[in-house]
């Protein structure tokens, strides 16, 4: 988003700087002729083989060539090329650094070893150091040019200053004898900076590696069913919406669609991360690239090309790759500050030592020491290591991050707003309570109601049947089914069904009796009164905005005109509501434990909204809100100074998702809600919002800690290198400074690895139960 781009600019990294850096890196890639040619050939081979699915896997499903071999010029392919470049330069430079380390007198003294000298061995250090500088160090000098041109020094400038000064001084020491050279410090500094950049490029590239593999799973061909019922094999790229395709057992679904015929279990783990296969039957949606199980399916294609789920996910990854880390920008700013601090410290050191001792080689050595150790190895690794681990953990926990800034901002949230229907609730009616009279049990009443509703397709009927199935209740076919317009349904239930339901009086006629299920309008036909127990139950349900239907037993059959002989008595009442998702209780509890407020935004009535909010313990409720007004409610919260995340799943939520500080979309389809969000929860689990906040906080802590360790080295080492304690005999030698520099690097690397130990399982918070029983929505 533009707002985020401006924030990055405010942190000192302009879009122009980034673009220039990209151009410099691309020019470096051109130097890697073999790698570039090999990558190009690989892309061409994959397209020709169909492995990368240039026609339908890359163009159609991934948004053109950008999602093919390399996301165009600025996508995953560029990152892969950068990763290859930095990896090769790191390994080659490290290998060439070994002789420099072995023939370093300082290391030999510290570690107590020696290597054999031979004629010309004194040239090993300078010769190999020059090679390492030219091969591994010059790229940093080239990437520093844009920073210097814009007078905005950053990490590249700091690195370039350190290696250039160390390189120049060390070469001079070959001609003019000095106390020490910096050859081994020079090569290790270059090696570690190359390592940091390699790790950063790898972390970005790995964010899309799983999706690249998914693209390969897309079939090259599909079996399209013709108008005469025959099948024809066609390229998957030729499929169009409304085509009917046959998906055989074990085959991949060629595109998004809806099952028209057949039953099977489909493995969707590559999309959702869910290991359990998902049962599919007519009317269910299937996702392109998923694997069909043992059954055969006929699927009506609903989306192809860029409209598919896979294409949407790949676009999200590309957007995440193009976004910048706010903390990485902070590291760049810190490097810029250190650059000026180092220059200032060097000037002060030169002046002070010249006044104290006169200008000589010792003064030059002291100034060089200050400039060299001003660049901590650790600063180059502080952020990339954490970002790499953060990326891995987020993907493993089903979070697609379109904007890395959003991941970092999640730690600052103080309010999370949830859409109600489909996010906190199941989005469909469910049985939430039952009341009975005449000694009839809940199970008996539910079984009888499910028997009567057997032929109805109404959502209330489905809810009653599903509730009976969940309890394992037996139902029997009913006869003479009749829909009572505006009142309910009626059917004849035989004596066996009544006895099975436990409501038999033993005197029903052989052909059974009429039983009705319906709402309040059905009761208007009754001659008798409604039992007080059921009336009180209905009043309580009404207060909680629940729908109530009654189970009415009509007794012995008679002519409709003979109302006096009819026995019509309600024996049960069933309350239904949009059922709250079991995990929603734990989500709200966990967010409260993290210190966040929880709000709910819905178009439902005040009664329904407040009933759900009271059951869940939600702090703020916005009810009866029109879709076009949802973003106004988010604005209202932000104007109160709240940092707001909006969590939703529908088109109606898109404006609010875009308006919030962080938009979190539930689901991974092509819905406009996903395009309006910065973070997508692939597994449709609102509990991932809690994991998002926890991971953001843990990652930011690690970034801060690493920056402190990296910068703390300078705070400690620079004054000592400048000789502030020289009057009392304490003077930091170049060798000891290099040792401290290496120690800070080790600490940063180890500290970053501890992020892997962060517990993202929920619950792992005090007061949050390990499992929540499904509780009904009120």
Beta strands per DSSP E along 640-766: 644-648, 662-666, 679-681
Beta strands per DSSP E along 495-596: 513-518, 547-553, 569-580
- DSSP string of 13-35? --HHHHHHHHHHHHHHHHH-HHH
- Of 60, 419, 578, 604, the catalytic one is 419
Q: Is the Cβ–Cβ distance between 247 and 297 less than 8 Å?
A: yes
| 3 state SS for 126-144 | HHHHHHHHHHHHHHHHHHH
Contacts of 387 (CB under 8 A, 6+ apart): 200, 203, 325, 328, 404
d(CA 217, CA 717): 54
d(CA 545, CA 575): 10
d(CA 208, CA 213): 9
Q: What ranges in 50-133 are assigned the alpha helix state H?
A: 61-62, 76-102, 105-111, 124-132
Q: Is 419 noted as a catalytic residue in this protein?
A: yes
Other CB atoms closer than 10 Å to residue 521's CB: what's the count? 12
Report the sign of the C-alpha dihedral through residues 61, 64, 68, 74, in that order: negative
Q: What is the dihedral of CA 135, 136, 141, 142, to 10 degrees?
A: 70
SS3 515: strand
| 3 state SS for 614-673 | HHHCCCEEECCCCHHHHHHHHHHHHHCCCCEEEEECCHHHHHHHHHCCEEEEECCCCCHH
d(CA 588, CA 585): 6
Contacts of 328 (CB under 8 A, 6+ apart): 383, 387
Q: Is the Cβ–Cβ distance between 680 and 648 less than 8 Å?
A: no
Indicate which residues carry an active-site annotation. 419
């Amino acid at each position: 988003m533009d707002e985020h781009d401006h924030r990055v600019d405010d942190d000192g990294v302009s879009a122009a700087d980034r673009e220039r850096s990209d151009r410099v890196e691309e020019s470096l890639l051109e130097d890697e002729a073999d790698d570039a040619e090999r990558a190009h050939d690989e892309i061409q081979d994959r397209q020709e083989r169909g492995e990368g699915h240039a026609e339908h896997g890359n163009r159609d499903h991934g948004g053109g060539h950008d999602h093919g071999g390399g996301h165009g010029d600025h996508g995953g392919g560029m990152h892969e090329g950068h990763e290859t470049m930095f990896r090769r330069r790191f390994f080659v430079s490290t290998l060439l650094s070994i002789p420099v380390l072995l023939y370093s007198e300082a290391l030999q003294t510290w570690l107590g070893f020696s290597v054999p000298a031979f004629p010309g061995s004194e040239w090993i250090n300078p010769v190999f150091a020059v090679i390492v500088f030219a091969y591994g160090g010059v790229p940093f000098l080239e990437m520093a040019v844009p920073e210097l041109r814009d007078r905005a020094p950053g990490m590249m400038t700091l690195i370039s200053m350190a290696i250039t000064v160390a390189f120049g001084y060390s070469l001079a020491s070959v001609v003019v004898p000095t106390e020490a050279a910096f050859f081994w410090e020079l090569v290790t500094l270059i090696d570690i900076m190359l390592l940091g950049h390699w790790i950063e490029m790898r972390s970005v590239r790995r964010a899309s590696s799983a999706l690249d593999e998914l693209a390969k799973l897309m079939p090259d061909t599909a079996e399209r069913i013709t108008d005469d019922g025959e099948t024809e094999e066609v390229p998957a790229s030729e499929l169009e919406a409304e085509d009917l395709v046959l998906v055989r057992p074990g085959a991949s679904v060629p595109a998004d669609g809806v099952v028209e015929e057949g039953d099977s279990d489909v493995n969707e783990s590559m999309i959702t991360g869910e290991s359990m296969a998902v049962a599919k039957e007519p009317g269910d949606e299937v996702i392109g690239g998923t694997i069909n199980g043992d059954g055969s399916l006929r699927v009506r294609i609903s989306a192809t090309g860029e409209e598919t789920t896979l294409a949407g996910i790949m676009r999200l990854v590309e957007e995440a790759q193009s976004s910048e880390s706010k903390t990485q920008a902070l590291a760049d700013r810190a490097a810029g500050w250190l650059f000026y601090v180092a220059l200032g410290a060097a000037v002060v050191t030169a002046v002070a030592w010249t006044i104290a001792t006169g200008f000589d080689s010792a003064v030059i050595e002291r100034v060089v020491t200050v400039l060299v150790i001003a660049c901590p190895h650790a600063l180059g690794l502080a952020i990339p290591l954490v970002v790499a681990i953060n990326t891995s953990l987020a993907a493993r926990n089903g979070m697609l991050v379109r904007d890395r800034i959003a991941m970092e901002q999640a730690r600052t949230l103080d309010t999370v707003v949830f859409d109600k229907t489909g996010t906190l609730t199941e989005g469909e009616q469910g049985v939430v309570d039952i009341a009975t009279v005449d000694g009839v049990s809940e199970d008996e009443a539910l079984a009888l109601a499910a028997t009567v509703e057997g032929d109805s397709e109404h959502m209330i009927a489905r809810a009653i049947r599903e509730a009976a199935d969940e309890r394992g209740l037996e139902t029997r076919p009913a006869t003479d089914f009749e829909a009572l317009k505006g009142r309910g349904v009626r059917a004849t239930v035989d004596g066996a069904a009544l006895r099975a339901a436990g409501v038999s009086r033993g005197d029903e006629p052989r052909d059974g009796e009429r039983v009705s299920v319906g709402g309040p309008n059905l009761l208007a036909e009754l001659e008798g009164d409604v039992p007080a127990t059921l009336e009180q139950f209905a009043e309580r349900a009404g207060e909680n905005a629940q729908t109530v239907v009654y189970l009415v037993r009509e007794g012995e059959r008679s002519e409709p005109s003979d109302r006096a002989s009819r026995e019509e008595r309600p024996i049960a009442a069933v309350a239904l509501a949009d059922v709250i998702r079991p995990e929603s209780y734990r989500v709200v509890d966990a967010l409260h434990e993290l210190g966040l407020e929880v709000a709910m935004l819905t178009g439902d009535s005040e009664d329904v909204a407040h009933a759900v909010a009271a059951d869940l313990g939600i702090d703020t409720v916005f009810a009866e809100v029109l879709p076009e007004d949802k973003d106004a409610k988010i604005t209202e919260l932000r104007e109160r100074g709240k940092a707001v995340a909006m969590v939703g799943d529908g088109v109606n939520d898109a404006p609010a998702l875009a308006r919030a500080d962080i938009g979190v979309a539930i689901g991974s389809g092509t819905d406009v809600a996903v395009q309006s969000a910065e973070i997508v929860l692939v597994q449709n689990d609102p509990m991932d919002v809690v994991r998002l906040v926890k991971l953001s906080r843990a990652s930011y802590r690690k970034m801060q800690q690493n920056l402190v360790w990296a910068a703390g080295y300078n705070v400690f080492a620079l004054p000592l290198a400048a000789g502030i304690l020289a009057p009392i005999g304490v003077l930091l030698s170049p060798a000891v400074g290099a040792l401290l520099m290496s120690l800070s690097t080790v600490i940063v690397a180890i500290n970053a690895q501890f992020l892997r130990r962060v517990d993202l399982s929920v619950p792992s918070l005090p007061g949050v139960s390990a499992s929540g029983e499904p509780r009904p929505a009120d």
